[in-house]
Structure 1
């Protein structure tokens, strides 16, 4: 029996509707296939602290989809820093096949998993990079840089400033609004918005902080 059940499929479909995110039948199938890979590989690779498959739809898939409207406003090239098990990068790559997503992580086991996801789901718009963020030097600045529970905002900003420019939007997915972290933002970064994310099935607060780099 598959680890992904009809209940998971219904929860994903209903949650996407609640978020106002349009998901095609093909994308719905891809998201569930990703969930199946996550459940399978998590046993050996410890990709996520969430062990219960019944919690993964809300805490991983729907949480990732909650930032779709803010990614939709951005440009064509996105970086998911410290992608880990692929959140939010993999779901976003599925939802935006016309945009390029680079998933970066310094953990070899996690990038091996992400490479398998790319191959099995045939995500031609997804690139996996095994590197420390400070050592990564792309050819062009990214139009958007996102992270989910990656690091404190000051570290996120300092470690990725060379990966963006004045047009780049930095999206930091957080739990409670991190007022203390905002106080420690580098002088050349400013928060342009703080959005409350309401994720179906998720307990606790979720916030999205949108940053820009000032010249």
Structure 2
């Protein structure tokens, strides 16, 4: 079974021009095993079959790597959940310093287990909300890249994620198939937060019929200090 999974992972990564070493593949499989073990205790993912975890979590996460320039050194994954896309990005490109942010302490404990078991360095899992961490000097406008996958609608994500990004850096939003309305409703949030959509890349998730979209937002000026608003406000009253 492992040899089949390794082949799927290698072939899927290859579609995005990513070459994985044997050691990196082993780390992914160890990650999968820890995910399945912990998923019996706490709800981390509805996807439980090995093949689906590899495709829908690991390969999907790797799809953003071609958009992360080599000179990007710091990434924050906002609302990381079970570590997607932050941990796969870290495994595949070890030079990136990764911060995983999640609002649930139990998930952070799981993330720390994955980090420890795979001996990953320059990666930390933090318990907290984007609205709280985004105003702190040690996090605000300190990252080259922020990313989020299936966390909230795009206007809300822009308020969560752009405050973390340096001017000239990027927010990479990972989305499903129907995004035209979300993009239309994001104009106000982009304008306020200092971002501009630079590219929208649609692709088929390898080995599936699922359409995915990656939205690349460049930050061209500082975010006003009153954003993000207090916890809960961005999702209750989006900037639309």
* Bucket of the pairwise TM-score, normalised by the shorter protein: over 0.9
Q: Report the CA distance between 1:138 and its aligned residue.
A: 5.3
2:10 touches 2:19 (CA, 8 Å); kept in 1? Answer: no
Shift of 1:146: 0.6
2:179: which partner in 1? 178
Tell whether the 8 Å contact from 1:154 to 1:181 is kept in structure 2 after alignment: yes
Alpha-carbon distance between aligned partners in 2 of 1:159 and 1:18, rounded to the nearest angstrom? 30
Backbone CA RMSD of aligned residues: 1.6
Q: How far, CA to CA, are the matches of 1:39 and 1:72 in structure 2?
A: 32
Structure 2 residue ranges without an equivalent (≥5): 222-240
Answer yes or no: is the 8 Å Cα contact 1:83–1:105 preserved in 2: yes
User: Which residues of structure 1 form unaligned runs of 5+?
Assistant: none
- What stretches of structure 1 move > 3 A for 4+ residues in a row? none
TM-score (norm 2): 0.83
1:192 aligns with 2:198: yes
- Check conservation: 2:168, 2:220, Cα contact below 8 A: no
How many pairs are equivalent?
Answer: 212
Deviations 1:51-108 (A, max 9, x none): 2223111101111111111124561000001100011100111111111000000011
Partner of 2:234: none
Paired residue for 1:204?
Answer: 210
Cα pair distance change 1:165/1:177, threshold 3 Å: farther
Please say which of residues 52-61 and 159-168 is displaced more in the overlay: 159-168
Matched, 1:84 2:81: yes
Of the candidates 4, 20, 23, which is equivalent to residue 23 of structure 1? 20
